[in-house]
Structure formats: C-alpha cells, structure tokens
Amino acid sequence: MNFQETKLLLIQNGQDALLRAFDGFDEDEKRAFCRQVNSIDWSIFDKRSEERKGGLSPISGLTRREIAERSDEFERTGAELLRAGKVGAVMLAGGQGTRLGSDAPKGAFNIGLTKEIYIFECLIDNLLSVTNKFGARVPLFVMTSDKNDIETRTFFEKHGYFGYPENDVYFFVQDMAPCTDFDGKVLLEEKAKIALSPNGNGGWFSSMKRAGLVGRLKKQGVEWLNVFAVDNVLQRIADPVFVGAAALSGLPCGAKAVKKVSPEERVGVLCQRGGRPDIIEYYELDEKTANARDEKGELLYGSGVILNYLFRVSSLEEIEGSKFPVHRVKKKVPYFDGEKRVIPDRENAYKYETLILDMIHLLNGCLPFEVEREKEFAPVKNASGADSIQTAQELLRKNGVQL
C-alpha cells in the first residue's frame, strides 16, 4: 500500500489527526509508518462489546465437599489422561502488568526474599510436581506479546527452563492493537510509531493456531488444554483432580473458582445468561444481584473465577471464528505529544482487548470447580496493597514455599 492509500485508510478509520504527523516524517519514517498502519487490524474498533442479552441465573458446579468426596475417582481419570499425554498447558504471559508498574515480563519478577525465586519458577515448580508424580509429559505453551517475547524466551533459556524439559516448551506471540485516547484517536508511541498494546487474552487459541501449534498438539494427541494466568503464583497446573472432573462431566470446559469473600469482591463470577454459561464482571453486577443468597445463605453469584480453565480442544475448534466482543479498558499508556514522550501518572488511554472469559459464553456448558482460595489463589496485580507482591509472598509462605 502506498502513501496515499495509507492516508485513505487512516481517514476511513477516523484517524485524520494522524495525517498531520506525516508532515514531519523523513522518507524512512514514512515507509515504516505506512507499513505499521497497514499491518494493523482496524476492524478491532468495530467489534466493541455489546450488552449481553438474556436473563441471568446462577450456575451449579462442584463444591469443595463434592470434590473431596469424589477426589479418588477424579484423580484416577485425570492421571490416566495425563499419562496418555492428552493434557497441555497454556500460560497467558502476554499482558503488560501496567498495575505492577514494571516493563519486564511479570513472570520474570523475583518474588523471593532471601533468595531468587521468579514467578515463572513458582509456576513451573507447580507443574513439575504433577509431571514428576505421574510420569507425564505436559507440553507447555507460553503466550507472549511483541513487547516481551524476546525477554521471556531469553529468561527461560538463561534459567534452564526452570528444570522443565526444553523440548516441551513452546512460545507463541499474540497480536497487538492500537491504543487510543478517550476520544478514540490513536496515540503515537514515538514520532512515527503508533502506540500498540497486546490485544487481550481472548485471542490465545487463534494465535496458537496461527503459530502452527494447534496442529502440532492435535498430532501429539492433546485433548485438553489447561489455560492459566501467569500472575497467580499458587496456580495449580494440570491438576489431575480438575482434569478428571472436567473430563467426566462431559462438558466442553471447566473453570476453577473460589468462593467470594464478600458480595463486593472484585472478581468475575460464573453464572448462566440466556441459558448459556457466562462470566459476569464485578463492575457489571448490580448490588441486588451481588447480594442475592440461596436458602443456605450462600451467595447465588459467589463463584469467583481465578483464570484457570480447562478446555476440550475439539470444542475450541467448534467455536473458532465466532464473534468475539472487544472490550475497551482504561490504562496508562506512554505517548508522544508531538515533541516528547510523556509517561502519564494516571489512566489516559483505552486499550482494546478480547477476553478469555468471553470464550465461556460461546461454549455449550462449563463446570465450575471450587478450590480453596488460600491454597490456589495468590494474584500479583498491584505494586502494593491488595493482590500485591506482599500478599502473594504471605500466601506462598503459608503454603510452605521458602522465600
């Protein structure tokens, strides 16, 4: 696409303001800028999320008591699937961790106090405890973004893959999307470069497919994928009891969940909407619904998701190409103001993201699987306060991890 066509593309997408920037570009900058403009999926702005339709109702799932009662049966089934190589793991590590305020990959954060223990290492240790116990091979797929791909791969290499078999680790890169100001105008990151950010964790399966990894895992016989967030240091990966319960349920997916501590807790909750499984974000839950309780006094919408899902690969393929809503999320995005780079001290921009939780609604069913918060949920989101390094360190210590 030439210079004129690129200008037209920007105008068509309501980005006329960027044309002014063109005037100051030299020939190299013009070429690079045109290349970048043409590589962007501009349709992301048209796929904004709509209000979901259909009445909300609670979803039933396995409680901790029910899981304990059937844990031998679940574990036996899960162990068989693990030993047969039918389970893979997907680490979502493409996020930027803006709330933590570090540019490095979140998994490279040293959470140790007297020695070095990286977040990646905590996760790999958890996975190794399963693969070693069952003599299983679990391919680990790590999603990165353009912003942290090289650093992530280098970090794994430098640390000997934290003891995980190198041949079982596969990296793939997710797509990026432009960032805009609150009026929808695209921001520049440098003089001749549009500010891009990772396009959310919802595109993991299509990005994996594009990287040729879905074909590979199917050839290997992988039937289930355990997808998890990089930033929960107590994350149990390829948990045989969860795998067995999901497989025996006959449902296309399972979601680990913790009981909400209060109606106000800021986590997404599992529910049904219009007869399909769904996850409702805390900011969409009105006060009355958030406080609704059943006859035993339990919150009706009290299953908080911890971003640990099991998906049947064949079901993921069935929903491929389905319409995926795009969410606008307020974030701090550094930008070029025409003269200099500005690092904002408050949210100044929208990022455009698809979310993994929207996948659940596309599937025909989902098994909520309750886990003990103190044993499985230690998110590292903020630099201090709730869900921070300090709270995660405390929980790691409580679980016997030497820091």
Q: Does 198 bind ligand UTP (CB under 6 A)?
A: yes
For ligand UTP, which residue of 75, 149, 231, 376 counts as binding (CB under 6 A)? 231
**Nearest CB to ligand UTP, comparing residues 201 and 249:** 201
**Nearest CB to ligand UTP, comparing residues 242 and 309:** 309
Q: Return the range that interacts with ligand UTP (CB under 6 A); candidates 66-74, 227-235, 282-290, 367-375.
A: 227-235
Query: Rounded to the nearest whole angstrom, what is the least distance from the CB of residue 230 to ligand UTP in the complex?
Result: 4
Q: Return the range that interacts with ligand UTP (CB under 6 A); candidates 3-11, 196-204, 277-285, 339-347.
A: 196-204
Query: Rounded to the nearest whole angstrom, what is the least distance from the CB of residue 23 to ligand UTP in the complex?
Result: 33
Q: For residue 34, with 0-12 CB atoms within 10 Å meaning exposed, 13-18 middle and 19 or more buried, which class applies?
A: buried
Instruction: Dump the DSSP string for 227-262.
Output: EEETTBTT---S-HHHHHHHHHHT-SEEEEEEE-SS
Query: Rounded to the nearest whole angstrom, what is the least distance from the CB of residue 92 to ligand UTP in the complex?
Result: 4
Q: N- to C-terminal Cα distance for the chain?
A: 54
Query: Rounded to the nearest whole angstrom, what is the least distance from the CB of residue 138 to ligand UTP in the complex?
Result: 18
Locus of tokens 């980005």: 15
Q: Return the range that interacts with ligand UTP (CB under 6 A); candidates 206-214, 228-236, 289-297, 364-372.
A: 228-236
| Alpha carbon distance 20, 18 (integer Å) | 5
Report 76-135 residues binding ligand UTP (CB under 6 A). 92-100
Query: Rounded to the nearest whole angstrom, what is the least distance from the CB of residue 207 to ligand UTP in the complex?
Result: 10
Contact 151, 106 (CB under 8 A): no
Query: Rounded to the nearest whole angstrom, what is the least distance from the CB of residue 235 to ligand UTP in the complex?
Result: 10
Q: Residues with Cβ < 8 Å from 341, sequence gap 6 or more?
A: 189, 190, 334, 335
How many positions of this chain bind ligand UTP (CB under 6 A)?
22
Locus of tokens 């680790």: 169
| Alpha carbon distance 66, 48 (integer Å) | 39
Binding mask 334-353 for ligand UTP (x = CB under 6 A): -------------------x
Instruction: Catalogue the E-assigned strands of 148-192.
Output: 169-173, 176-178, 188-190
What is the DSSP secondary structure assignment for residue 268, as one 8-state letter? -
Binding mask 304-323 for ligand UTP (x = CB under 6 A): ---x----------------
Query: Rounded to the nearest whole angstrom, what is the least distance from the CB of residue 145 to ligand UTP in the complex?
Result: 6
Nearest 5°: phi and psi at 197?
-140, 160
**Nearest CB to ligand UTP, comparing residues 192 and 306:** 306
Q: Return the range that interacts with ligand UTP (CB under 6 A); candidates 1-9, 199-207, 282-290, 298-306.
A: 199-207
Residue nearest to ligand UTP (CB): 95
Instruction: Catalogue the E-assigned strands of 174-237.
Output: 176-178, 188-190, 193-194, 196-198, 224-229
For ligand UTP, which residue of 200, 252, 302, 304 counts as binding (CB under 6 A)? 200
Report 32-61 residues binding ligand UTP (CB under 6 A). none
Contact 207, 170 (CB under 8 A): no
Report helix, strand or coil for 173. Answer: strand
Residue 374: CB atoms within 10 A of its CB come to 13
| Alpha carbon distance 305, 360 (integer Å) | 12
Q: Kindly compute the dihedral angle of the four CA atoms of residues 211, 268, 325, 107, in this order, to the nearest 10 degrees.
A: -30
**Nearest CB to ligand UTP, comparing residues 34 and 238:** 238
Q: Return the range that interacts with ligand UTP (CB under 6 A); candidates 50-58, 194-202, 215-223, 337-345.
A: 194-202
Report helix, strand or coil for 19. Answer: helix
Q: Does 268 bind ligand UTP (CB under 6 A)?
A: no
Query: Rounded to the nearest whole angstrom, what is the least distance from the CB of residue 312 to ligand UTP in the complex?
Result: 21
Q: Residues with Cβ < 8 Å from 116, sequence gap 6 or more?
A: 110
The residue ranges that bind ligand UTP (CB under 6 A) are 92-100, 143, 174, 198-201, 229-231, 307, 331, 353, 381
